[in-house]
Structure 1
């Protein structure tokens, strides 16, 4: 009975662990396909702002618009490898017929104030609805104009715009001290390879422990005989 139990637990556990590893390999292939599609979409030729943009269908859509900032801004705390700590500058953007938001880029913390004056710009970038908020995200410190995530709906309400955000890739003319931080796939997690390696490593350890236990059981049986 002990051999049957060992085989059931050992082989059953190994099958489960290998299945999880191969599932992660499959997810890796799916994620790579998705990332390639996103990267292709991000770099496609820009179009005009859609009339009725959809957060899922139009996420990352390349657009170009000409209009004016208003001098108002929201400052979103951010830290990047390129710039270190700084603030994303989110500004209202009036195109003549619409009032949307533009993520102009990032400034160092020392350049947070004063805010940039109103000016005419042509913005090329991507529509985005960032998934940066959860129940642990602090509420914005509105009196200090410090936000901790890009919450499109909340920012639109604060600035009196459509809930539509263009993340700038290029600004014409450029803004002194503001570095565009365009949409990219760099911040989209893709940990499936590491997960697959982990599951396969555990499977190898499980198989080794099963063989070791079987060897010890065989030794005890031989001594009793």
Structure 2
């Protein structure tokens, strides 16, 4: 009876390993499809932003908006980029489709508070990004202390008294050597699912081999 229970346990474990390998292959197919769709969005010409609610299928779409920046309402969000540590500068834009938070780009700590938005009408082209609620860097946003660790649209809008704001923000595109430095958005997806799948299949095969050896000796 004990041997039967042990064999059943081994078979069940092998089945679990195989199932995990298959699941990772499914995840790999999903990730490859996601990468293909995002790359298509990045390559497409900029269009009008969506109205109303947005979802994952809207993220990283290239959009263009026209309007005027609302001065005196910049929010500095902690960031780490290829230029080092510093801040994203988020500024509300009164656009032709409503009020939108625009990530104008990155500044180093010594430039904090030194980069007011341009005056007059502007046209901003960039990537649509979903809100980042809660916080980041394992730290919660602290609106009262003016310490922001994620680009939480709702929280920033409430702290600045901006009223109705689009539920997403816009990452402005490259602007040469100007500050804030735009175009630093990193679009990269980890895709190690094939490696994980092979690992699970290898563990299933190894366990099956060991079980066969033990049974042969018995």
TM-score, normalising length from structure 1?
A: 0.78
Cα 1:175–1:95 change in 2 (3 A) is farther
Report the Cα offset of residue 132 of structure 1. 5.5
Q: Which runs of 5+ in 1 are unaligned?
A: 219-225
Report the Cα offset of residue 78 of structure 1. 1.3
CA offset digits 1:102-140 (Å, max 9, x no partner): 111111222223242443432111222144536964132
Q: Specify the alignment match of 2:182 in structure 1.
A: 180
Q: Specify the alignment match of 1:44 in structure 2.
A: 44
Cα 1:184–1:38 change in 2 (3 A) is farther
The DSSP-based 3-state class of the residue aligned with 2:130 is coil
CA offset digits 1:79-104 (Å, max 9, x no partner): 13x12211111111123663211111
Q: How far apart, in 2, do the equivalents of 1:142 and 1:133 lie?
A: 14
CA offset digits 1:22-41 (Å, max 9, x no partner): 21112101211122112212
Q: Which runs of 5+ in 2 are unaligned?
A: none
Cα 1:95–1:2 change in 2 (3 A) is closer
C-alpha contact 1:70 1:118 (8 A) present in aligned 2: no
The DSSP-based 3-state class of the residue aligned with 2:52 is coil
C-alpha contact 1:6 1:214 (8 A) present in aligned 2: no
1:1-225 superposed matches below 5 A: 1=1, 4-50=4-50, 52-56=51-55, 57-71=57-71, 72-80=73-81, 82-95=82-95, 98-120=98-120, 121-131=122-132, 133=134, 137-143=139-145, 145-159=146-160, 160=162, 162-163=165-166, 164-171=168-175, 176-181=178-183, 183-186=185-188, 188-216=189-217, 218=218
After TM superposition, which residue ranges in structure 1, 4 or more long, deviate above 3 angstroms? 1-7, 130-137, 181-185, 188-191
Cα 1:33–1:95 change in 2 (3 A) is same
Report the Cα offset of residue 204 of structure 1. 3.4
Q: How far apart, in 1, do the equivalents of 2:193 and 2:42 lie?
A: 23
Q: How far apart, in 2, do the equivalents of 1:59 and 1:53 lie?
A: 14
C-alpha contact 1:125 1:182 (8 A) present in aligned 2: no
Please say which structure displays the higher CA radius of gyration: 1
TM-score, normalising length from structure 2?
A: 0.80
C-alpha contact 1:73 1:115 (8 A) present in aligned 2: no
